[in-house]
Structure 1
Amino acid sequence: MMEASKRRGEDRDPPKVEARWGRRAWELLEAVRRRAPLVQCITNFVSMDLMANALLAAGASPAMVHSLSEIDDFTPRADAILINVGTLSDGWLPSMRAAATAATRAGCPWVLDPVAVSASDFRLEACLGLVGLRPAVIRGNPSEILGLSSACRIRDSKGADSSHESMDAVEAAKSLAQASGAIVAVSGAVDVITDGQQVVGANNGVAMMQKITATGCAVTALIAAFIAIDPPNTLEATACAFSIFGLAAELGMDMAKGPASLRMHMIDSLHGLDEHTVTSRVNISFIT
């Protein structure tokens, strides 16, 4: 979501297909609001505030629980787990592993956000180990997905930013999905989601999201909430979460004067989304 400007109105499906995606996105958002899934977030210090507020605005219930001492008691109660390695440390990695293990054992879907996976050997090995614990979704920017897919450091990787476009990482995303069994989602001008065979593009969003830290982390949290509602249809839920978040940014941009006000209006817009807006403006299409 942060890497490149979004396109509007391009590569749209025929109206019948668009209507199906819009209806599906609304059904999932309405279910999140009705059921308020509990999403446990083991995430970085930078993203906690925006992530929690995005989940609340969508109707979910966030819990920033990361202590190893609480995992056994808390994680089995959650409806979905999010693990984000943005501010990875030796102290937090055991909690991440324990939560992922508990979630997999309980059949609870969990999402991995491999932030800056290629920045260090420690970070790469940690992420590879977490992938082995069977996340339902892996969401990253193009460089992160390329790095994780090839399991080697990318020479021009720049921390949590990306030097690639999402379409550059399609084949790597498909390969990673096939190897891991996870749905792989790549943020970009078109957000790409794949199960290793079919590829879906979510086209909502605005360029200024690049100027707000942790928007990618926040959409990953929304993905966790959506897949908690419908685990068997994880690809659909992931694509719809991307478009819902991007649509909220589009609406917020209409009122924003800059990044700070966009952040505020984006959260307000996410909270206020209605059926007509979602069903008429969600823009999702099959790429292959």
Structure 2
Amino acid sequence: MTQTLLKDMRAKAPLVHCITNYVAMNIAANVVLAAGASPAMVHAPEEMEAFTPLSGAVTVNIGTLSAQWLESMRVAVRVANAHGIPWVLDPVAHFISGFRKQAAQDLLGMRPAILRGNASEIMTLAGEAGAGKGADSGDAVADAEGAAKALAREYGCVVAVTGPEDFVTDGARMARVAGGSALMPQVTALGCSQTALMGAYAAVGPAFDAALSALAHFKVAGTQAAARAEGPGSFQVHFLDALASVEPSQLEAAIMEVALS
């Protein structure tokens, strides 16, 4: 299925409405373009009603949250739900303030198709203790698997926990994705850009397969880029090139395990 989705995504080049943070806008747009889709970084509340229905998917990232952007997110999500448009939630560092925590909980209650976060974000969103520091995870992906399954079942969504080895579940199915590079966390907002890529895949296929395909695409491209990079700067350039050149047949190799829980 991952091979088919990559072919479909590149053939259809869906418009992805990315409501993301200031830090991530450039890299997220470049990632979506390199992978084969079309990004739009529209975030004014006044444009949500008109623009959202034009999109194949919406992605919501709360990295540099403000009251105005939160209103844009809520309107875009409401419109997306009304039109059957899938959307992806990235609750960046939602635990660092009451404002951010409430925003993440409210958005989660609006039922995203995919919830993507690091282990600390997923654990604390499920009410567990976490060791996150800002946007960085202080917990292992394996420690967040129970929380991911619980959130998936409660909110009827796919949950993707990203890290050195990714984990994705819809509450019943599970998969792990391996690969990538230790250089990836050294490129700012690369994780945020993965959320945007999940939107591109969600626009052309089911949420579980979309999340899995985006994770595998990132891992394969990261592995290829690391083989040519001399450090974080050159890695970013090679990573964008790799996203564009990854073949559909290569994605399955990154998927380590799929099992029923």
Q: Which has the higher relative contact order, 1 or 2, with Cα contacts under 8 A spaced 6 or more apart?
A: 1
Instruction: Report matched runs for 1:91-170 at 5 Å.
Output: 91-150=68-127, 154=129, 156-170=131-145
Over 3 Å counting, the alpha-carbon distance change for 1:275 and 1:234 in structure 2 is closer
Aligned-residue sequence identity (percent) comes to 43
Aligned to 2:216: 243
By how many angstroms is 1:228 displaced? 0.8
* TM-score (normalizing by structure 2): 0.96
CA–CA distance in structure 1, aligned partners of residues 199 and 140 of structure 2: 24
Aligned to 1:18: none
By how many angstroms is 1:206 displaced? 1.2
Aligned to 1:12: none
Corresponding letter in the other structure for 1:111 = V
CA–CA distance in structure 2, aligned partners of residues 189 and 251 of structure 1: 15
Corresponding letter in the other structure for 1:222 = L
Instruction: Report matched runs for 1:20-39 at 5 Å.
Output: 24-39=1-16
Corresponding letter in the other structure for 2:65 = L
Corresponding letter in the other structure for 1:67 = A
Query: Is residue 223 of structure 2 the alignment partner of residue 264 of structure 1?
Result: no
CA–CA distance in structure 2, aligned partners of residues 203 and 88 of structure 1: 31
By how many angstroms is 1:275 displaced? 4.3
The answer to whether the 8 Å contact 1:115/1:144 transfers is: yes
CA–CA distance in structure 2, aligned partners of residues 277 and 148 of structure 1: 33
The answer to whether the 8 Å contact 2:17/2:57 transfers is: yes
The answer to whether the 8 Å contact 2:217/2:251 transfers is: yes
- Where do 5+ consecutive residues of structure 1 fail to align? 1-23
CA–CA distance in structure 2, aligned partners of residues 155 and 269 of structure 1: 33
By how many angstroms is 1:188 displaced? 1.4
By how many angstroms is 1:215 displaced? 1.3
Aligned to 1:286: 258
* TM-score (normalizing by structure 1): 0.87
SS at match of 1:92: helix
Aligned to 1:6: none
Aligned to 2:19: 42
Aligned to 2:226: 253
From 211, 226, 231, the equivalent of 2:186 is 211
Over 3 Å counting, the alpha-carbon distance change for 1:208 and 1:106 in structure 2 is same
Query: Is residue 151 of structure 2 the alignment partner of residue 179 of structure 1?
Result: no
Corresponding letter in the other structure for 2:114 = V
The answer to whether the 8 Å contact 1:25/1:282 transfers is: no
By how many angstroms is 1:208 displaced? 1.2
The answer to whether the 8 Å contact 2:130/2:139 transfers is: no
Over 3 Å counting, the alpha-carbon distance change for 1:275 and 1:162 in structure 2 is closer
By how many angstroms is 1:38 displaced? 0.4
CA–CA distance in structure 2, aligned partners of residues 190 and 282 of structure 1: 10
From 197, 206, 222, the equivalent of 1:222 is 197
CA–CA distance in structure 2, aligned partners of residues 249 and 200 of structure 1: 19
Cα shift readout 1:144-180 (whole Å, capped 9, x = no counterpart): 0011111x7x463311000001110000011111111
The aligned length equals: 260
Query: Is residue 191 of structure 2 the alignment partner of residue 192 of structure 1?
Result: no
CA–CA distance in structure 1, aligned partners of residues 229 and 236 of structure 2: 8
SS at match of 1:112: strand
From 79, 82, 89, the equivalent of 2:56 is 79
CA–CA distance in structure 2, aligned partners of residues 94 and 161 of structure 1: 26
- Where do 5+ consecutive residues of structure 2 fail to align? none
By how many angstroms is 1:277 displaced? 3.8
Corresponding letter in the other structure for 1:208 = L
The answer to whether the 8 Å contact 2:111/2:155 transfers is: yes
Corresponding letter in the other structure for 1:266 = F
CA–CA distance in structure 2, aligned partners of residues 189 and 245 of structure 1: 11
Corresponding letter in the other structure for 1:65 = V
Over 3 Å counting, the alpha-carbon distance change for 1:277 and 1:157 in structure 2 is closer
Query: Is residue 28 of structure 2 the alignment partner of residue 51 of structure 1?
Result: yes
